[in-house]
Amino acid sequence: MKSRDLPAAIELLGRTPAIDVCLGGEMKKSTVLLFLSIIAILLFIATSAQAQQKGQTGLVMAYPASVGFIWNVTDRVAIRPDISFATTSNETPVSSASSSSHTFETGFAVLLYMKKWESTAAYVTPRFSYSRTKVTNTGLPSGSTVNWSYPSSASFGVQHSLNERFSAFGEVGLEYRRIHFTSPFNLFPVAKTWESKSGVGIIFHF
């Protein structure tokens, strides 16, 4: 990817149907485009560094379902942006009422390696993200509501190199989430939650 291609790539990402549906038009689109810009810039930097540092970048496939990118900036620090989205729909067979929801989340994590052995490394990782959910109801009542939040978490993880191309990792930690509700029927427009979190994934090194 060349530097002059970044603006066009970012604009194209912002206009993709999946992202546009999750965003519900222009609302909050600037926030997500900022994250997409960061991801695109990181991809460009990492691609430029790939020739000198083989294996320092990779594609991340994680559960809960998300896809991301990892770049080992130094032996002790790595950065990992990620993105995920989901769409669900429900219909009532006895009436014309239906409901659908679209969720979009993008995040940015920094991995700080504490200890490394031959093929295994232990690390801690703070992560910051933006999440948005749009719920649309048709029938009685009908309308759309939008909920958004800024989840922040801290986790401890272990990464093990399977071979020169693949690594596996697992994480466990604590997440804080501040959720904003826009529904007029919600008596509490803001909710705060603390919850445990965990995840596993595979890294494909370039």
Over residues 55-105, the pLDDT tens digits come to 688 999 999 889 999 999 888 999 999 999 888 887 777 667 788 888 999
Over residues 144-161, the pLDDT tens digits come to 788 889 999 999 999 999
Name every residue whose Cβ is closer than 8 Å to that of residue 124 and which is 6 or more positions away in sequence: 111, 112, 114, 154, 155, 156, 157
Q: Judge whether residue 10 has pLDDT over 50.
A: no
Domain spans in the chain, listed from the N-terminal domain onward: 56-205
Over residues 112-125, the pLDDT tens digits come to 999 999 899 999 99
Comparison of pLDDT for 3 and 172, the residue scoring more: 172
Assess contact for 145 and 27: CB atoms under 8 A: no
Comparison of pLDDT for 17 and 134, the residue scoring more: 134
Q: How many Cα atoms within 13 Å fall on the side-chain side of residue 45?
A: 12
Q: Judge whether residue 171 has pLDDT over 80.
A: yes
Domain topology for 56-205: Porin (2.40.160)
Instruction: Return the percentage of the chain with pLDDT > 90, whole number.
Output: 43
Query: What does the mean pLDDT of the chain come to?
Result: 79
Q: Judge whether residue 38 has pLDDT over 70.
A: no
